[in-house]
Structure 1
Amino acid sequence: MIALVLLGILVLVVGGCVCVVWAERGGPRWVRVVAAVTLGAGELLRRSGKNRRRDLDRPTGDGD
């Protein structure tokens, strides 16, 4: 079951990347929409990753 979920996520990621490349070459409107959603999701993930790293870099304040 977990393998099917991971496979589905992989298919969505690869499809999004294909749409980004196709949109850069002037694809149809739906491809440009999917590419914009893919790039937006990537930006959100990148921002949330920066916040997590920043939280890990903070000192804990326990005196060690």
Structure 2
Amino acid sequence: MSEQKTNNSRRQLLKNIGLSVAAGAVVAGTTTAVQASTTETDKKDPKTKKGYHETQHIRDYYNTL
């Protein structure tokens, strides 16, 4: 009879591991969706300049050449 109890506890352990993995996958999926939506709003900002920007540290580097 003690063998039957051991099998039940092993089955319960495997069920818990499976549920933990599934919950982790759901959390990872929702985190990715939230990050994707915030990056889309950042791209719509008209104040953001694209391309080459000459700053003081770049001018200092050019002066060393």
Residue by residue, what CA displacement relative to the aligned partner does 1:6-61 show, whole Å, maximum 9, x if unpaired? xxxxxxxxxxxxxxxxxxxxx70000000000000000000000000000100335
Q: Which has the larger radius of gyration?
A: 2
Runs of 4+ with >6 A deviation: none
Identical columns (%): 5
**Stretches of structure 2 lacking an aligned partner (at least 5 in a row):** 42-65
TM-score by length of 2: 0.51
Q: Number of residue pairs matched?
A: 38
Indicate the residue corresponding to 1:37 in structure 2: 11
RMSD: 1.8
Output the amino acid matched with 2:12: T
Q: TM-score scaled to structure 1, two decimals?
A: 0.52
